[in-house]
């Protein structure tokens, strides 16, 4: 099993595994990544993926990909396929070790009958509302169901009739008989099976009863002989239940270890909430580049290497914490700085006419595709009398530290000439600046600076009007306006959505070297940020660029102001 570009730092889980191997408890390491196929994976799942596959690779063991497909009402083949795509995209491969909880439905049902036969389970006729009432609270014990005293033979008969489809959906359940007074409410006779007529993605209509997640999860680990079952902290209170099942059934007992889940600022990390955003059309889909899903991040231009580095950097701990989005963005910047070729693009074009440049003449400048990697080669940039620069690079009345274009001011065009703004043309009706008439210094081409020529401080990007490619650019920003939505008491997270999380620019222009850029291509628009060719909406002659991340943390500037 290969593990690209991930260094596993020492952590408490590795210490446990080292002790187990040294003490002879295990001869190898078998972990698993067990997603429920009821939605798309998000960045929080990436932490678990990197941990489970990374540990298996580090100890030369194996990691299983197991779909916990016990709820056919919410599960779809689309989600199964997407999960596989995301795990592979991150750089991991489960080989022949792909499993499904549904592979074990017959075995799990056999376990259920065994619990009934041992007096550890019973069929209950309470309604869901009655069951909640009987369950008690965190401070008050629950009450025994009136059906708890059913004889074993009756329970076994009813369970088999449940499987045969004799009863209506929701009319009966199978419950474990543990302790209705237990301080841990998970041990208060939890439901093991419910009646549910729904088409399953893999088993079709074979079954009309389905195991609950808590019953299938631990037993699936046992069946697969998982050595170290790694779960996030919310499963810590479920561990005594999983232990009880293994002991009652007298089956192999995996060791469960809990670690802190990933919480990230300025976003939501709940599948339920992400599904709400999709269904209510606050976003364009699971792969919307504003979403924290891996498919959304991939579409936005995040790289698998950056996500693996992020997961390594935040580490594995036992206490919940919130990681600032800037940490992830810095990992992306670091990765793309090394790998993304450079190009020039103008997002909000402002026309520049070089009045002393020969009309109809075109020349070419050569520029490196990457300043730190000569192996990427060079690109050719056409230059002509009529250019476009970014509107943000001009101010009619600039302050002292503004080193870009202004009336009477000089700048250097990146890779080109020094120009001076001589005249500002405005729209008579609106007063908006529509054109700059400038002159160029013919002795300064390609970065040259003649002897005695004063060096200019400002360097700006540009494109040739006659050669530039019109493109659409989508500027993505953070999903929420606030860092921690949970701190906004009494407010629905949807009230905190960032209305400026997407800005679509339809007049943008880029240099012609990008004409054949393929979907998914990452690059840096010089001075503007990192972008990628959208892998869904781009087409030949109609490129769409998504902004992956700015060159520096613009949110930090806002926070400091």
* 3-state SS, one letter per residue, for 391-405: HHHECCCCCCCCCCE
Q: Confirm whether 412 is a catalytic residue.
A: no
Catalytic residue among 271, 290, 412, 474: 271
Three-state SS at 375? helix
Note down the domain range covering 392: 343-466
- Domain end residue (candidates: 207, 231, 264): 264
| Contact (CB, 8 A) for 413 and 462 | yes
DSSP state for residue 25 in the 8-state scheme:
S
Residues 402 and 493 in one domain: no
Residues 287 and 183 in one domain: no
- Domain end residue (candidates: 228, 246, 264): 264
Q: What is the chain's percent helix, strand, coil content, to nearest 5? A: 30, 25, 45
What CATH number is associated with residue 439?
A: 2.40.240.10
| Rounded distance between C-alpha atoms, residue 149 and residue 127, angstroms | 17
- Domain end residue (candidates: 444, 466, 488): 466
Digits of tens for pLDDT over the chain (561 positions)?
444 545 567 899 999 999 999 999 999 999 999 999 999 999 999 999 999 999 999 999 999 999 999 999 999 999 999 999 999 999 999 999 999 999 999 999 999 999 999 999 999 999 999 999 999 999 999 999 999 999 999 999 999 999 999 999 999 999 999 999 999 999 999 999 999 999 999 999 999 999 999 999 999 999 999 999 999 999 999 999 999 999 999 999 999 999 999 999 999 999 999 999 999 999 999 999 999 999 999 999 999 999 999 999 999 999 988 999 999 999 999 999 999 999 999 999 999 999 999 999 999 999 999 999 999 999 999 999 999 999 999 999 998 889 999 999 999 999 999 999 999 999 999 999 999 999 999 999 988 899 889 899 999 999 999 999 999 999 999 999 999 998 898 899 999 999 999 999 999 999 999 999 999 999 999 999 999 999 999 998 899 999 999 998 766 554 433
- Total domains in the chain come to 3
pLDDT at 4: 52
Q: Provide the β-strand partners of residue 100.
A: 67
Catalytic residue among 143, 261, 351, 481: 261
Q: How many CA atoms lie within 13 A of 21 on its CB side?
A: 14
| Rounded distance between C-alpha atoms, residue 550 and residue 300, angstroms | 12
Residue that has been written with the tokens 């036992």 in this structure: 318
Angle, in degrees to the nearest 10, between helices 43-58 and 304-314: 80
The closest of 184, 470, 254 to 345, measured between CA atoms, is 470
Catalytic residue among 32, 36, 163, 526: 36
Residue that has been written with the tokens 């399953």 in this structure: 200
Residues 484 and 500 in one domain: yes
Q: Confirm whether 489 is a catalytic residue.
A: no
| Rounded distance between C-alpha atoms, residue 269 and residue 45, angstroms | 10
Token representation of residue 280: 């209510």
| Rounded distance between C-alpha atoms, residue 413 and residue 390, angstroms | 12
The answer to whether residue 4 sits within a structural domain is no
Other beta carbons less than 10 A from residue 229's beta carbon: 24
What CATH number is associated with residue 181?
A: 3.40.50.620
Q: Confirm whether 271 is a catalytic residue.
A: yes
pLDDT at 556: 56
| pTM, entire model | 0.93
Total residues found in the chain within this entry: 561
Contacts of residue 400, defined as CB under 8 A and 6 or more positions apart, other chains included, come to none
Q: How many CA atoms lie within 13 A of 323 on its CB side?
A: 25
The closest of 339, 328, 307 to 53, measured between CA atoms, is 307
Q: Provide the β-strand partners of residue 210.
A: 194
């Amino acid at each position: 099993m290969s593990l690209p570009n991930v260094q596993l730092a020492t952590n408490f889980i590795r210490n446990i595994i080292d002790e187990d191997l040294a003490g002879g408890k295990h001869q190898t390491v078998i972990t698993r990544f067990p997603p429920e196929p009821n939605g798309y994976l998000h960045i929080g799942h990436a932490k678990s993926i990197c941990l489970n596959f990374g540990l298996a690779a580090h100890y030369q063991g194996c990691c299983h990909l197991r779909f916990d497909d016990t709820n056919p009402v919410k599960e779809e083949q689309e989600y199964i396929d997407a999960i596989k795509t995301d795990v592979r995209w991150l750089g991991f491969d489960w080989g022949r070790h792909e499993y499904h909880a549904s592979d074990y439905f017959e075995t799990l049902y056999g376990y259920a009958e065994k619990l009934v036969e041992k007096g550890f389970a019973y069929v209950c006729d309470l309604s869901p509302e009655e069951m909640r009432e009987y369950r008690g609270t965190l401070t008050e014990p629950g009450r025994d169901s009136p059906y708890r005293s059913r004889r074993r033979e009756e329970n076994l008969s009813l369970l088999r009739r449940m499987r045969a489809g004799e009863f209506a959906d929701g009319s009966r359940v199978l419950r474990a008989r543990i302790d209705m007074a237990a301080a841990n409410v998970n041990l208060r006779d939890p439901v093991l099976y419910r009646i549910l007529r729904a088409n399953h993605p893999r088993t079709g209509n074979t079954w009309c009863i389905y195991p609950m997640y808590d019953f299938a999860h631990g037993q699936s680990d046992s069946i697969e002989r998982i050595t170290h079952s790694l779960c996030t902290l919310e499963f810590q209170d479920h561990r005594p239940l999983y232990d009880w099942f293994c002991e009652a059934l007298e089956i192999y007992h995996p060791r469960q270890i809990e670690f802190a889940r990933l919480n990230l600022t300025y976003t939501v990390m709940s599948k339920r909430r992400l599904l709400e955003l999709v269904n209510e059309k606050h976003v364009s889909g699971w792969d919307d580049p504003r979403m924290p899903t891996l498919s959304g991040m991939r579409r936005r231009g995040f790289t698998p290497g950056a996500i693996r580095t992020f997961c390594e950097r935040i580490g594995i701990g036992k206490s919940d914490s919130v990681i600032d989005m800037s940490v992830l963005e810095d990992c992306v910047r670091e990765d793309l700085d090394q790998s993304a070729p450079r190009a020039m693009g103008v997002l909000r074009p402002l026309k520049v006419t070089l009045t002393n440049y020969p009309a109809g003449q075109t020349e070419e400048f050569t520029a490196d595709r990457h300043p730190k990697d000569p192996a990427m080669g060079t690109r050719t940039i056409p230059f002509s009398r009529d250019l476009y620069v970014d509107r943000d690079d001009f101010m009619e009345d600039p302050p002292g530290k503004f080193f870009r274009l202004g009336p009477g001011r000089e700048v250097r065009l990146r890779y080109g000439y020094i120009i001076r703004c001589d005249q500002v043309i405005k729209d008579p009706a609106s007063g908006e600046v529509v054109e700059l008439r400038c002159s160029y210094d013919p002795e300064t081409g390609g970065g040259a600076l003649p002897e005695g020529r004063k060096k200019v401080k400002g360097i700006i990007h540009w494109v040739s009007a006659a050669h530039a490619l019109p493109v659409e650019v989508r500027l993505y920003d953070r999903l929420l306006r606030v860092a921690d939505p949970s701190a906004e008491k009494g407010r629905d997270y949807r009230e905190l959505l960032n209305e400026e999380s997407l800005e679509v620019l339809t007049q943008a222009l880029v240099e012609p070297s990008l004409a054949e850029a393929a979907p998914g291509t990452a690059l840096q628009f010089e001075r503007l940020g990192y972008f990628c060719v959208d892998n869904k909406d781009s087409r030949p002659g109609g490129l769409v660029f998504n902004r992956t991340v700015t060159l520096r943390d613009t949110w930090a500037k806002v926070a400091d102001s």
